[in-house]
Structure 1
Amino acid sequence: LNACVAIERVVTIIKATNFHKKKSKQIAKIVIVILVIFTICTNIYDPFYRYLIDEDNEDEKRIWCIATYPSSLQTFSSVMHTFHFLAPFIINLISAIILITKRSRQQSNVRIHENYKEILKQQIQQYRHLFTTPVLLVLLGLPRLIILFVSKCMKSTNDTWLFLVGCFILFILPMLTFVVFILPSQFYREQFHKTIVNYRIALERRLNYMIQK
């Protein structure tokens, strides 16, 4: 979804006044459905190849997680995990480059007395959050990818911390949406501040109305 937002941002810049917001919303709904179906289809095989086996011996009771993939499916799984990890990063990066380049050319046509390189530097400075965001996403997702490729089946009483860390990492990205996407952008910060102010004014008006009533 982050990559789709980046693509829409670029399309908005390219289309300019020809951009149709209503049509964009319709396409977004279709894309969301396609992404959900694609994600399910590329991961639906996993539960069918995982087994839990109870083992009792003299020392302790163990629960083994056994995952047996055919060689072709193992390759497919590795490719899909890598794709889900790298594709959004690459799309975000390319979209940021296209957006800044296109924006710089538009500005150079208006500000004809300024050097294009200077305009490009200004645009990079203004939209630098478009580069920092995908990098942060990659850094946050990298430990999970490493765990997926390195970790093996676990013994129930040992090495549980590794898998707990892997589970918690899954929730880091949703929790850091505000930090990753809002704070780095001056425009989004301003819009967030305006929204908070509007809510505060509306709340104060409602409270005053209730008190007077």
Structure 2
Amino acid sequence: MFTTKFWFVVVTSMLIPIRDSILEGGCKSIETLLNLFFYWDAWLNACVAIERAVNAYKGISFNQKKSKRFARWIIFILPILIMATIIHEPLYRKSFKHGLIREVTSSEDLDAKKSVIGDIWCLADYSPAVQDYSTTILFIHLLGPFIANLFSALFIIISSARRRAGVQTQQTYRQHIREQWQEHKQLVISPIILLLLSTPRLVISLIYGCVDVSRSVWLYLSAYFISFVPSVLMFVIFVLPSSSYRTTFKETISRICHRRAS
């Protein structure tokens, strides 16, 4: 969806006659779907973190079949719930042509007279009440997964250390905490990185209406692109910092290469 959004912006920025209905439809649908998948991705990661914490709590009594059944329902229900919270976006979004009307000759058709030289913006014209609601929803979708990831990671570290302290009494509880921290620290560091990379999206929402966008185009574009870095670099943020994930990844790649060779 991010690639679709990128090429839609590129094509609409060219001096190519495009129907207003296509511009309006793309503005309303692509941006809404992009936000849907962006939030869905974050909440799925949070669900994985919660499942990991439940697994650490229950240990050998963890019901994997029940967990898979819950996962199927969550994958189905989650996008519906997210879409219900951002249903206002396509209603208030509209395309806006910023530029000068091109001079035409009498031989050109009527549609050409509507063509505009300049930038085409996809703007959300919110009322103050809807803007407050949109900002609140943004905080929920960004801070909610972060809190779920952080507390799940801390729960795993503390519960694992407490369980080992009861069995391996030759070490102190603080030593077990340090060992568990070294083993699972990426579970704490990764959500913090995700939140920091998502901060520009919050800043844009909070200063909406206070800054002239036309005078800070590159600032807004940079913050917009940075907010998608977590989704693009999920492998770098979650897999590479973890020794266990890296080992599993290497083993999986080796199995795939072995199957193809055979």
TM-score norm. by structure 1 comes to: 0.84
Are positions 1:119 and 2:162 aligned together? no
Once residues 173 and 34 of structure 1 are traced to their aligned partners in structure 2, the CA distance between those partners, rounded to angstroms, is 23
1:50 Cα deviation from its structure 2 partner: 2.9
**Where in structure 1 are there 5+ consecutive unaligned residues?**
206-213
| Aligned twin of 1:86 | 143
1:27/1:53 CA distance change after superposition, 3 Å: same
Q: How many residues are treated as equivalent by the alignment?
A: 203
Contact kept in structure 2, 1:103 and 1:123, CA below 8 Å:
yes
Aligned to 2:94, the other structure's residue is in SS state: strand
1:154 Cα deviation from its structure 2 partner: 4.2
Counterpart mapping for 1:44-123 below 5 A: 44-53=87-96, 67-123=124-180
Once residues 62 and 100 of structure 2 are traced to their aligned partners in structure 1, the CA distance between those partners, rounded to angstroms, is 68
State, as a whole percentage, how many aligned pairs show the same letter.
37
Contact kept in structure 2, 1:65 and 1:154, CA below 8 Å:
no
Contact kept in structure 1, 2:197 and 2:227, CA below 8 Å:
no
1:43 Cα deviation from its structure 2 partner: 0.8
Aligned to 2:228, the other structure's residue is in SS state: helix
TM-score norm. by structure 2 comes to: 0.69
Moved more, 30-39 or 160-169: 160-169
| Aligned twin of 1:132 | 189
Name which of 47, 53, 59 aligns with 1:10.
53
1:159 Cα deviation from its structure 2 partner: 4.1
After superposition, give the CA deviation of every residue in 1:38-92 in whole Å (9 maximum; x if it has no partner).
211111102212334557779x878676644343322211111111111111111
**Where in structure 2 are there 5+ consecutive unaligned residues?**
1-43, 102-116
Are positions 1:40 and 2:83 aligned together? yes
| Aligned twin of 2:239 | 182
Contact kept in structure 1, 2:153 and 2:188, CA below 8 Å:
yes
**AA of the residue aligned to 2:60:** T
